[in-house]
Structure 1
Amino acid sequence: MAVKKVFVSYDHSENVHYKDLLRAWDANTDFDFEFDQRSPNVPIESTASSVIQGALTKKMKEADYILVIIGEKSYSSKWMKWEIDRAKQPDTNLRFAAVKIKSGNINPAGLPRYTAIANSFTLSGIVYALNNAIMCY
């Protein structure tokens, strides 16, 4: 199976631990998953946001999937909404997958209806979501 190139979208202020867990799983040679760990650390309203948006768009275009980590406050993250909306554009050709940290967490704005969603943050759940991801534009 080919390595999956995955762009990860998450609430940077609340869920960085889960991105770190993905990084640890990525180090395991039995886990055929690759992702870019760069993420914005400035408000989307800042003057630097256009530069960050350009860099994120480039990373999305290099990926095959977007994995949305759905935390407690993800539904209100402006960056996640922007990333999801940008990932839906045809020039990125991304397949959508998501994983909920807790099953009751609310999906972020704009997440496509047919996104493959794992209801627990486990390796098997994420692999399931990625293997069932489809393009949603």
Structure 2
Amino acid sequence: MKKVFISYKHDDDRYVNDVRSIRSNSNHPLSFNDRSLEEAILNEYGDINRRSPADAASLPVQDKIQLLLQDSDKLVVLIGDNTHSSLWVQWEMDTFRKFRGERNILMMRLPYSNGGVPSGYNSHDIRSWSLQYLSDWINT
């Protein structure tokens, strides 16, 4: 069974359910590492850690996400209007690339979006929104 990690800016989470719908086909052998962390990582004050990946305080969050990325065969990046500015999407892409390379990363532009890609991925193809293409790509 293939495992897919979905990286996206949380402003665009309404499209994640569309991606998950691929799984409703009983002949489709895949699962998603598509959830936020099951339990939030809290700081020393008991608040949710919302630090950037560059902040040492975010290491517990990185550790948990890195395990999900290592366990994934493919990475789907949903490109919305502000994805290019998400430090966490950038970090997830960079981290996944170390494990599986760029050919296992698909960037898919959300409908009605004109947003750009995270730094370092400008030469990577961005596909138009197509659940059929996504399903075919996952199976390759």
Is TM (by shorter chain) over 0.5?
Answer: yes
Question: Structure 1 vs Structure 2: percent identity of aligned residues?
Answer: 26
Give runs of aligned pairs for residues 1-137 of structure 1, distance below 5 A. 3-12=1-10, 14-39=11-36, 42-45=49-52, 49-89=58-98, 92-94=99-101, 95-102=104-111, 104-111=114-121, 113-115=123-125, 117-120=126-129, 122-130=130-138
| Range with greater deviation from structure 2 (14-23 or 62-71) | 14-23
**SS of 2:63 mapped into structure 1:** helix
Larger Rg, first or second structure (1 or 2): 2
Amino acid at match of 1:8: I
* CA root-mean-square deviation: 2.5
Q: CA deviation at 1:112?
A: 6.6
User: Which residue does the alignment assign to 1:135?
Assistant: none
Does structure 2 conserve the Cα–Cα contact (< 8 Å) formed by 1:118 and 1:128? no
Structure with bigger RCO (C-alpha 8 Å, 6+ apart): 2
TM-score under structure 2 length normalisation:
0.73
Structure 1 runs (4+) deviating above 6 angstroms are none
Q: Which runs of 5+ in 2 are unaligned?
A: 41-48
Q: Return the structure number with greater helix share.
A: 2
Task: Give the number of equivalent residue pairs.
Answer: 125
Does structure 1 conserve the Cα–Cα contact (< 8 Å) formed by 2:79 and 2:110? yes
